[in-house]
A and B are shown apart, each in its own frame.
Chain A
């Protein structure tokens, strides 16, 4: 393959993984904006999407099209339970406690998954076959189109929800000023719960659409979660387009780095980017710097 084709190949596959990172990153941002918490367990919702779908298909013999919505539902349920049991009791706790509890939660979910299922990696069947399609010398799989398509739909839904529905606007109000939001009658606790529900749903769906390409296992959540977080940071913790751009940039850079430099260090690329952004521009590429010095 010539360099041009190779580059295109890397970019296309980078865009598709980037879309996944974007979805996961939006999940982080939604919870962060509603609660001020970084949910370390976000990656586990992603994992649960893929693993639950697999479980429903193989053990309960459901067809793919039934397994997917059910898996998303179950993962969302886990998110709900997590919020109720772990987050709600700690509303007044220190930031350290909140961080620790989401870490604990993520480990617990991961551990239980390992026990209930197993440690192996599994493949989910691609949604519409795996015959490669040639585009300008680069190979694209049908699954890539599914990923990009579903991502666009989800982002559209997301935007519509936050700009045009009462609940969405209420959530935005909570993120700007929870106290004021409470005073005008918004049930802040309900918004917190809703944020977990939405993030879990989006995360699990992201996990499902990427699973046919990258396999799934009980511990895919860690890396995916971190990279999604990286996307969110680049986007300044926005739950909209900036995070999408963040995810795409990350996916493409990672793909180019893995292809052109070295594939062993591929995962390190995302984290180096994460550290660079946190050090140099913690508000993300699109955020505004803080004005107070103290």
Chain B
């Protein structure tokens, strides 16, 4: 556990000091979105990596958080922080309720069910024009405020979003090294034996599904207040796939891997602007290549690759991982 906390501390320090290197640069804006994507990827990773459940509809929870917060704080003039909390709890509750039937399903059925759910939510965003503004989106969402501070600049939003990310990562680290984390690993290794020991696999999976949904909803709320505008395309199937790609690239089950995946997939399009249309081909190809050649993601793949290369160079020692 000590090792984990040290890793976390290093990570947190790097994150908190990063703006010193980038301030004034338009990359700060990108880094805010890296933060939001990291939150989403970590949430999906909790589900995929720890509970072993696939979701292809996580963008729906993201969208519900965004629209929920946006509408409550704008149309109904709620306090944005209260709205964020309430929306997160409601989305968590909804996920808990539909989690029971959904998580009874296995593998691909589960994937399809979450996909279907995601698309239904997306269609509602598009069609319920009176509340959501339909395809043209919903604007006028206020920035978040904390006392005298109004979060209206890239730098302030950076700290706002990344504070949440760091909190979420810490919670994930704690969870992984706890009784519950063990219970999940047990379910992974030998589910029947885990259940014999009293691990209520079903309930735990549903709980983690709800937690994952809540984190996505919070990410959505933050997104809404940072952008002050939301529209359906940001919450469609493509986004769910992007999130999946981020988690897969980083490595299923690895929290920092999710960060890496989010970082790469958010930054790359910025550097490859001219390749905009190629992005779906890129994601598809990347997913396939990673699954075949580096199923453990970059987090495990790069050290392995490194070891293989240096192992080969050292004929005496032999090639050992």
Contacts and interface: CB of A to CB of B under 8 A. Distances in A.
Task: Indicate whether A and B are direct neighbours in the complex (CB within 8 Å).
Answer: yes
A170 interface: no
A103 B244 contact: yes
A147 to B, nearest CB: 25
B120 A282 contact: no
Interface stretch (B21-29, B76-84, B101-109, B300-308): B101-109
A100 interface: yes
Interface in B109-137: 109, 111-113, 115-117, 119-120, 123-124, 126-127
B123 A282 contact: no
B123 A101 contact: no
Contacts, number: 132
Contact of B288 (A105, A275, A282): A105
A278 B105 contact: yes
Interface in A186-205: none
Given A93-B295, A96-B52, A99-B54, A274 B112 contact: yes
A95 B124 CA distance: 31
A222 B120 CA distance: 14
A104 B284 contact: yes
Mostly, the B contact residues are: helix
Contacts of B252: 96
Given A96-B54, A226-B115, A264-B127, A111 B292 contact: no
Given A101-B288, A294-B192, A268 B123 contact: yes
Interface in A84-118: 86, 89-90, 93, 95-101, 103-112, 114-115
A112 B102 CA distance: 33
Interface stretch (B172-180, B209-217, B261-269, B273-281): B273-281
Contacts of B111: 38, 40, 99, 103
B63 to A, nearest CB: 15
Mostly, the A contact residues are: helix
Contacts of A112: 281
B119 to A, nearest CB: 5
B284 A108 contact: yes
A interface, how many residues as a size bin?
A: 35 or more
Contacts of B48: 96
Nearest to B108: A38
B280 A110 contact: yes
B241 A107 contact: yes
Interface in A240-285: 262, 264-265, 267-268, 271-272, 274-275, 278-280, 282
A101 B287 contact: yes
B interface, how many residues as a size bin?
A: 35 or more
A229 B295 CA distance: 27
A57 interface: no
Interface in B52-77: 52, 54, 56
A272 B244 contact: no
A100 B291 contact: yes
B287 A226 contact: no
A264 B288 CA distance: 34
A100 B110 CA distance: 13
Nearest to B52: A96
Contacts of B108: 37-38, 95, 98-99
Nearest to A38: B108
Interface string A207-232: 00000000000000010001001100
Given A38-B108, A275-B120, 17 more contacts: A37-B108, A38-B109, A98-B108, A100-B248, A101-B291, A103-B287, A104-B286, A106-B284, A107-B281, A108-B285, A114-B280, A115-B278, A233-B109, A265-B127, A268-B120, A278-B113, A282-B109
For the complex of A and B, 9 pairs with smallest distance between CB atoms? A104-B287, A108-B284, A107-B284, A111-B281, A38-B108, A111-B280, A279-B101, A95-B107, A104-B288
8 contacts: A99-B54, A103-B111, A103-B244, A233-B109, A264-B126, A271-B117, A274-B113, A279-B113
